[in-house]
Amino acid sequence: MSTLQGTTSLIDPETIDYFYDEETNGFDEPVKQPESQKNPGQILSAGFMGVGVLSLIVYLFDDHPTGSWMGILLSFGLLTIAGMAYHWFSYKNTIPGIKHDGIMFSGSLHRGAIAWALGILFTGFYVVLYWWPEYLDRAIRLVDPLAMAMARQPADQWFLYGFLYTLAILIFGVRMFMKYRHNRYHQIRTASVMFFQLVLAFVIPQFLRALNEPEFYFTYFWPLKYDVLFPGTVDSLVTSPGALGTFMVFWTMVGSFVAVPVLTYFYGKRWYCSWVCGCGGLAETLGDPWRHLTPKTTLSWKIERLIIYSVLVLIILTTGVLWISNTAESGFLSEIAEPLKIWYGFYIGAVFAGVIGVGFYPLLGNRVWCRFGCPMAAVLGIIQRFFSRFRITTNGDQCMSCGNCSTYCEMGIDVRAYAERGENIIRSSCVGCGICAAVCPRGVLKLENGATHQDRYPGSDKPLGAFTTAFKGARVYGDKEGYV
């Protein structure tokens, strides 16, 4: 190959020659761009965050710690306001658009020393929270005034956890607002997860406690909130004074077995995983800086399929065994029912969902639990894959194979492979976050809810057949019969 013809007036022919080599022609390394300087707003906000951290440390090491509104405001209050302001000033004077420059060379964002330190910090917090909460007693006592105002009861470790969880979503939700301020879809879904976490997953449960009603989280359904349909939980709700407990059981049943499949049919799993769920809310806000770390290998996909459906089968068996042992005389089932419940709660509910699910954000991406372990995601994924109208459409002719979509897919999907072939993306793991479409420089990808579920892939008009065939291998391919 020599040179292209007719381009001499625009491009030096030698430069585009196949054998052209910059190094042999004496070109040096490109000049390194200077690191961006912090603006005064960022510096001031960081200073106030430092004051908040210092106030928290002083309180935690006080000889006689007692909760006070002043202590809450000078520590958590200052950290929250300053954190929000820092994210605001970080993006305020920048041109709207997604900028990930240098993200692969960052020690905090690409498994460097800072990322490992953060992972250890997150993991350590969850370990202490679940098994040694006495070491958090000073922090718990600090938020006593807030707990008394909201729930009329002293704070415990779970109130502290819910409080910190909500603050994290709110603080990093502001970051999402500013980072994606040019994208209406991300503005709305960020506001949605912030609302559902603050109101339905924090304020209302505490208000119920103040009324001496069962603490109930209206945004969590079975099987994610696994114990909500256990016999003991159902009995305690139904027998609680008043009709509210019975309504909670009704809400759970209708939500889990009616609303979930219906809404997923129309909108895919994104209605829950990216708009309502607290786990997804934390992943999409606090975890957003690490979304590119999600494993993309074929092996990780096989592990994903094995683990997540195993967890789903396990919680179905656990719930079934508990109900059978509760209603019928069965020696063997009665013996294994309680240990099975304890085992699931410890290894899946605590270790997997909490310690690993959040603790590994800086190392394995922000959707470790959602991708590999969440039984709710498994149920939603099956419905989305075979029976939903939702799909991500692709305009393959416009795809230039840059790979941004695959890089920033938090569920490890090779989006580019679908885009290059012009195929709809209907993977069961897709949570419909829409980041793949947002980072695409040519508008190749589009999130859509079609008029029917029957036109998404070859064989989608026979979803039960495609579902059955899926058990035979890792993919479903269309053929002249409609499905393999």
CA 164 to chain centre: 16
Rounded CA gap, 430 and 247, in Å? 32
Q: What are phi and psi of 438, to 5 degrees?
A: -70, -35
Torsion of CA 73, 76, 77, 80, to 10 degrees: 170
Q: What is the chain's mean pLDDT, rounded? A: 88
Among candidate residues 280, 301, 268, the one with its CA nearest the CA of residue 224: 280
Element (H, E) at 447: strand 445-449
**Bridge-partner residues for 392, per DSSP?**
425, 447
pLDDT category at 352 given cuts 50, 70, 90 is: very high
- Farthest CA pair distance, the chain: 90
Rounded CA gap, 159 and 73, in Å? 17
> The tokens of 393 are what?
């459409």
What percent of the chain clears pLDDT 70, i.e. is strictly above it? 89
| pLDDT tens for each residue of 161-177 | 999 999 999 999 999 99
Is the pLDDT at 107 greater than 60? The verdict is yes
Q: Please identify which residue in the block is written with the tokens 């372990």.
A: 373
pLDDT category at 9 given cuts 50, 70, 90 is: low
Rounded CA gap, 381 and 307, in Å? 14
Instruction: Return the pLDDT at 409.
Output: 95
Rounded CA gap, 469 and 216, in Å? 39
Instruction: Return the pLDDT at 24.
Output: 66
> The tokens of 34 are what?
């200077």
User: Which region holds residue 6: left if phi is over 0, alpha if psi is between -120 and 50, else beta?
Assistant: left
CA triple 149-151-153, angle to 5 deg: 90
Q: How far is CA 421 from CA 218, 426, 472, in A?
A: 41, 14, 24
Rounded CA gap, 167 and 169, in Å? 5
Q: What is the pTM of this model?
A: 0.87
> The tokens of 272 are what?
């829950």
Q: Dihedral sign, CA of 165, 169, 175, 176?
A: positive
Contacts of 72 (CB under 8 A, 6+ apart): 142, 143, 145, 146
Spell out where 343-444 has E strands.
Answer: 390-394
Element (H, E) at 255: none
| pLDDT tens for each residue of 332-343 | 777 888 899 999
| pLDDT tens for each residue of 388-407 | 999 999 987 888 989 999 99
Is the pLDDT at 132 greater than 90? The verdict is yes
* Bond preceding residue 40 cis, omega within 30 of 0: no
| pLDDT tens for each residue of 437-484 | 999 999 999 999 988 877 787 777 777 777 777 766 655 333 333 333
The total of other beta-carbon atoms located within 10 Å of residue 414's CB is 18
> Are 118 and 108 within 8 A, CB to CB?
yes
